[in-house]
């Protein structure tokens, strides 16, 4: 082979190789598929509501206090209302005075039926307990 032709074949071969390498280098790669796993998370909030346990009664309370005072029955039972400040309570007692045991309370405007008036400015309720006349009114307080 003559030298000129040899050089041409050599250069052509080299160019073919370089082009082949260029094609391989420029070859686009196929995208790979990626799978992402997601986890859904749920948050639960628990609220505890305090409860109040009230005593259960099988009937009306009985007053075992021995009567040592005078009382006058009303002609007809009268409905009165507790006139205490908002948020305050009117004590219901076993006898007509602050020295007697407290058996309950009335809230502002709560109605109570009275059947007798005891000494010292106290009313006897239809249940046989006592409330102070000072904290009673004949009309519903505002």
- Cβ(120)–Cβ(138) below 8 Å: no
pLDDT band at 51 (very low <50, low <70, confident <90, very high): very low
For the chain, the domain total comes to 1
In a domain, 104, yes or no: yes
Lookup: tokens for 49: 């509501």
- What is the pLDDT averaged over residues 84-93? 90
pLDDT at 66: 77
Nearest Cα residue to 133 out of 94, 89, 81: 81
In a domain, 2, yes or no: no
CATH classification at residue 99: 2.30.30.40
Containing structural domain, residue 111: 71-137
Dist CA 92 CA 126 (whole Å): 12
| pLDDT: which is higher, 97 or 67 | 97
In a domain, 112, yes or no: yes
pLDDT band at 28 (very low <50, low <70, confident <90, very high): low
Of 32-46, 86-100, 104-118, give the lowest mean pLDDT range. 32-46
Q: Is the dihedral of CA 131, 135, 141, 142 positive or negative?
A: negative
Whole-model pTM?
Answer: 0.56
In a domain, 125, yes or no: yes
In a domain, 37, yes or no: no
């Amino acid at each position: 082979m003559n030298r000129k032709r040899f050089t041409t074949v050599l250069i052509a071969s080299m160019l073919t190789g370089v082009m082949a390498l260029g094609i391989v280098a420029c070859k686009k790669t196929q995208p790979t598929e990626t799978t992402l796993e997601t986890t859904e998370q749920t948050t639960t909030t628990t609220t505890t509501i305090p409860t109040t346990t009230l005593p259960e009664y099988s009937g009306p309370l009985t007053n075992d206090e021995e009567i040592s005072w005078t009382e006058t029955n009303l002609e007809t039972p009268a409905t009165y209302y507790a006139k205490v400040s908002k948020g305050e309570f009117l004590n219901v007692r076993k006898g007509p005075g602050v020295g007697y045991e407290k058996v309950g309370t009335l809230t502002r405007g709560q109605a109570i039926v009275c059947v007798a008036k005891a000494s010292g400015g106290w009313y006897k309720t239809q249940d046989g307990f006592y409330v102070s006349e000072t904290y009673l009114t004949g009309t519903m307080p505002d």
